[in-house]
A and B are shown apart, each in its own frame.
Chain A
Amino acid sequence: MNATETTDVLIVGSGFGGAITAYHLAAGGARVTVLERGPWLRSEDFDHDFKFGSSATRVFDFVVGDGMSVLGGNCVGGGSVVYFATMPRAPRFVFERHGSIGRRMWPAVIDRDVLEPWYDRVAEALPITPTSWDEVPYIGGVFAAACKAAGHTANPSPSAVDTSLCTNCNWMMSGCRFDAKRSLLLNYLPAALSHGAEIRPLHEVQRITRLDTGGYRVHYNTIHEVDYRQQTGSGAIDAKVVILAAGTAATPVILQRSEAELGTMPHAVGRYFSGNGERLNTAVIEEDKVRELLGLSRDEENAYGAYQIGRGPVVASWDRLNADLPEYERFSLEQLYFPPGFGTILAQVPDATGPTWYGPEKKEMLRKWRSWLTVFTMSEDDNEGVFGPPPPTGNSERLSQQLLGFGRLRYRPTANTLRGWEVSDAAVRQILEHNGLSRVMPWTNDVIGAYTVHPLSACRIGDDPATSALDDRHELRGHPGIFVTDGSAVPGALTVNPAFTIAALAERAVPGIVHALRERGVDVRYGAPAPDGGGAARRGTAAAARAVLG
């Protein structure tokens, strides 16, 4: 007889949702296996290089859909390896949103106050700290000064970057080789390993089937380490509990593919996708105006000209995060650096007479690249994305060996979403075109549709079974023992960067998963400290955990 491998907990994906649950459950004594479709890279593997095959393509997944494209991580550590580590908590009003369903989207038991101690746990683990003004890179400085000149406030954002190690190289999207960015490779994942969790890279989960014992069998393909289009083998592992944390672009696809054998999925699986209301505008800054209007200069010669310098988004404007404003008109604006590639392709030429995103005028705009300033909008969209039938494997049909594939997500922005984009575009213009500081244009949607690096909600928690796939403990309705803890569980757009909220929700989900394991006869404790041993934040969540575990 061919013995199938077994484990207590099988976790799919090693980003925030996967790493955090892996750590706590392994620390509590469960046998934990993590399957991750991407490779496992260490600090020295993170290249400063755009060449195909360097970390800039190895650690990414870019899935072009119909009207929406999603950029995410594809490696051990998931999105935390490629992210910009900007980590604000979601504003209070977000939890009260109604969105398209005409009632509160979030489960009644969760609001900002409830999530606060779970945020604290994540902040202790990574750690996340406020940024001081004297550490704000030139680009954030120009954005802040422009906000002030136009009558707005601006904040340096809290961040999971250890600035004492940061070189402001701006290669953090390819992974941080200086360990300044506190990715999951530096905290939850090593702590999970030290408690015996097993992490298998280049294992792509395809589907889940049910066992007579009440557990599940998870089927995977192994993936070639260079050419991700090639499958090198396949296998299956039996588990008592399965945690899906493959990210919003992949988790619903795995469930859709499993439906034939697992049985009917909740209606909300693969529906209500949100792009976090994302939108990008690029300004070409007039250098002399930086000196004249804003009184800023780097040195004798340069006023700004520093697009390449720094570390992603550091300064944000939160003036429109006002609970009193109508839904869909609230948003945050954040200064951003996007390396050449997508950022340069999708930027449009202000006042173009010919084509706006390519052609001679675009090339002239590229000559001023060092004076670009990109502004990132996170607004309230309408959860209007829907996943079509799954592709044969993974969550896309891959074109390139790495990075690029075509998926089945369809997104047609509603009038609400379009309105949010319109009012935020106007706000960007008001700030950055004030007194002729620059000219601004949004990125074009003509090439790859809208795009997001913050996919959310395609498998969300909620109280209403018709519009939520998961209950408020992240358990998949009708399929006990399957949990979802990644971005797809978040009910809707957050108006700020989402990783901190995804992580806090994953922390909050752990006691419920411990409970499910105990019900299945696994002896698991709950209450591990922060990955580095710190216990300060644990006190804040103890009562909530006891309420779940008894």
Chain B
Amino acid sequence: MPDPEGQESRNAALEAFADTIIPGEKHHPDDRAVAGVSAGGGAVASGVIAVLESPEGGMAPALDDLARTLDEHAVRFRTEHGLPPDEREPFVGLRYDERLALVGELLAPEHPERAMWAGLAMFSFMAFDTGAHMHTADAIAAGHPGLAVLGFAPPGEDGLWRFPAYSYGRQLADVHPDTDPTGSPA
């Protein structure tokens, strides 16, 4: 049975994790998943849920578990830090600095689940840095927030990149004295 509410809270937890990795500005004033600690779009606005759900990425089957485990860690974190419980959204309900502290624990090299959380962090980055759920030329034309923050140059009319100006055009250092005629180290 589809469970729209469960889906929504699952996505909110995943978005809150992705927003901890690459933060952005709130979509609307009531946005709870995005903490709103950075100007411009972050991983969430860049399409992290679409990237995570894409069949190509391979993460889709794990997402329910990841969101549930994240909330379980948040429940524990709340107890350990004397924070009030939040039955509905234990992770989403944390402040940004609290999310950062918890995510920091999960990503620490010695954490037993590190590989899982590092994977989620990598896919969050990929949404932001590459918009891997879209053709790059389309993503740029649509104002993809991550590629815009990077300043990734737009392609030419045929959708390909070319940089006709590319060189300062002169010798800028002395070459190593032991360079052979092929240009290799002697």
Give residues in A with beta carbon < 8 Å to B.
48-54, 57, 64, 88-92, 119, 123, 128-131, 133-138, 141, 144-145, 147-148, 152-158, 167-171, 177, 229, 294, 296, 298-299, 306, 308-310, 315, 317-319, 321, 332, 339-341, 344-345, 354-355, 358-360, 362-363, 366-367, 369-370, 398-402, 404, 406, 446-448, 496
- Chain B: CB-nearest residue to A444: B109
Q: Scan residues 168-186 of chain B and give those whose CB is less than 8 A from a CB of chain A.
A: 168-180, 182-186
Residues of B within 8 A of A401 (CB): 55-58
- Chain B: CB-nearest residue to A131: B183
Q: Provide the bound-state CA to CA distance between A148 and B54, in Å.
A: 48
Q: Provide the bound-state CA to CA distance between A401 and B54, in Å.
A: 10
B167:A141 contact, CB within 8 angstroms: yes
Residues of B within 8 A of A354 (CB): 100
Residues of B within 8 A of A402 (CB): 56
Residues of A within 8 A of B146 (CB): 366
CB < 8 Å neighbour of B161 from A88, A167, A446: A167
A358:B130 contact, CB within 8 angstroms: no
**A154 touching B161 in the complex, CB below 8 Å, given contacts A48-B155, A134-B167:** no
Which of B1-9, B72-80, B87-95, B114-122 contacts its partner? B114-122
**A53 touching B37 in the complex, CB below 8 Å, given contacts A340-B130, A363-B22:** no
A358:B167 contact, CB within 8 angstroms: no
Q: Scan residues 125-144 of chain B and give those whose CB is less than 8 A from a CB of chain A.
A: 125-126, 128-137
Smallest Cβ distance from A77 to chain B, in angstroms?
A: 21
Residues of A within 8 A of B169 (CB): 133-134
Q: Provide the bound-state CA to CA distance between A170 and B166, in Å.
A: 11
A130:B168 contact, CB within 8 angstroms: no
The contact sample of 9 A-B pairs, CB cut-off 8 A, is A48-B136, A144-B172, A144-B173, A154-B175, A229-B58, A308-B163, A318-B185, A341-B125, A358-B124
Q: Provide the bound-state CA to CA distance between A404 and B160, in Å.
A: 26
Smallest Cβ distance from B2 to chain A, in angstroms?
A: 25
A360:B38 contact, CB within 8 angstroms: yes
Smallest Cβ distance from B16 to chain A, in angstroms?
A: 14
**A168 touching B172 in the complex, CB below 8 Å, given contacts A359-B23, A363-B149, A402-B56:** no
Q: Provide the bound-state CA to CA distance between A138 and B150, in Å.
A: 18
Residues of B within 8 A of A321 (CB): 176, 178, 185
B168:A50 contact, CB within 8 angstroms: no
For the side of the interface on B, what is the size category?
35 or more
Give residues in B with beta carbon < 8 Å to A.
20-23, 37-38, 42, 54-59, 100, 104, 107-109, 115, 118-119, 121-122, 124-126, 128-137, 146-147, 149-153, 155, 159-180, 182-186
CB < 8 Å neighbour of B54 from A52, A123, A299, A496: A52
CB < 8 Å neighbour of B130 from A50, A332, A359: A50
B58:A399 contact, CB within 8 angstroms: yes
B170:A133 contact, CB within 8 angstroms: yes
Residues of B within 8 A of A399 (CB): 58-59, 119
Q: Provide the bound-state CA to CA distance between A57 and B165, in Å.
A: 29
**A154 touching B173 in the complex, CB below 8 Å, given contacts A51-B133, A135-B167, A137-B167:** yes
A171:B58 contact, CB within 8 angstroms: no
A153:B58 contact, CB within 8 angstroms: no
B186:A51 contact, CB within 8 angstroms: no
Smallest Cβ distance from B61 to chain A, in angstroms?
A: 10
Known: A153-B175, A358-B125, A446-B108. 12 other contacts (CB 8 A): A51-B135, A88-B185, A135-B167, A141-B172, A339-B130, A340-B150, A341-B125, A360-B38, A362-B22, A366-B150, A370-B151, A401-B55
Q: Provide the bound-state CA to CA distance between A359 and B22, in Å.
A: 5
CB < 8 Å neighbour of A359 from B100, B163, B179, B183: B100
Residues of A within 8 A of B186 (CB): 91-92
Smallest Cβ distance from A223 to chain B, in angstroms?
A: 15
B168:A138 contact, CB within 8 angstroms: yes
A155:B172 contact, CB within 8 angstroms: no
CB < 8 Å neighbour of A308 from B125, B152, B185: B152
The 4 closest A-B pairs by CB, nearest first: A130-B183, A50-B130, A340-B129, A52-B56
- Chain A: CB-nearest residue to B21: A358
B118:A341 contact, CB within 8 angstroms: no
Q: Provide the bound-state CA to CA distance between A310 and B165, in Å.
A: 9
CB < 8 Å neighbour of B118 from A138, A153, A448: A448
**A404 touching B58 in the complex, CB below 8 Å, given contacts A48-B161, A354-B100:** yes
B173:A358 contact, CB within 8 angstroms: no
Q: Provide the bound-state CA to CA distance between A57 and B51, in Å.
A: 14
Residues of A within 8 A of B126 (CB): 341, 345
Residues of B within 8 A of A308 (CB): 152-153, 163
Residues of B within 8 A of A155 (CB): 173, 175-176, 179, 183
- Chain A: CB-nearest residue to B57: A400
Smallest Cβ distance from B173 to chain A, in angstroms?
A: 4
Q: Provide the bound-state CA to CA distance between A125 and B29, in Å.
A: 62
B129:A400 contact, CB within 8 angstroms: no
Smallest Cβ distance from B97 to chain A, in angstroms?
A: 9
A169:B161 contact, CB within 8 angstroms: yes
Smallest Cβ distance from A434 to chain B, in angstroms?
A: 13
Q: Provide the bound-state CA to CA distance between A319 and B174, in Å.
A: 11
- Chain A: CB-nearest residue to B56: A52
A51:B134 contact, CB within 8 angstroms: yes
Q: Provide the bound-state CA to CA distance between A155 and B185, in Å.
A: 9
Residues of A within 8 A of B108 (CB): 446
B173:A309 contact, CB within 8 angstroms: no
CB < 8 Å neighbour of A400 from B20, B58, B175: B58
CB < 8 Å neighbour of B42 from A128, A133, A363: A363
Residues of A within 8 A of B180 (CB): 89
- Chain A: CB-nearest residue to B150: A369
- Chain B: CB-nearest residue to A311: B166
CB < 8 Å neighbour of A133 from B22, B23, B107, B172: B172
Q: Provide the bound-state CA to CA distance between A27 and B122, in Å.
A: 46
Residues of B within 8 A of A137 (CB): 166-167
A153:B162 contact, CB within 8 angstroms: no
B163:A167 contact, CB within 8 angstroms: yes
A49:B170 contact, CB within 8 angstroms: no
B183:A309 contact, CB within 8 angstroms: no
A147, A153, A358, A366 pick with most chain B CB within 10 angstroms: A358
Residues of B within 8 A of A306 (CB): 166
Smallest Cβ distance from B138 to chain A, in angstroms?
A: 9
Q: Provide the bound-state CA to CA distance between A153 and B135, in Å.
A: 41
A168:B57 contact, CB within 8 angstroms: no
Q: Provide the bound-state CA to CA distance between A221 and B165, in Å.
A: 47
Residues of A within 8 A of B177 (CB): 153
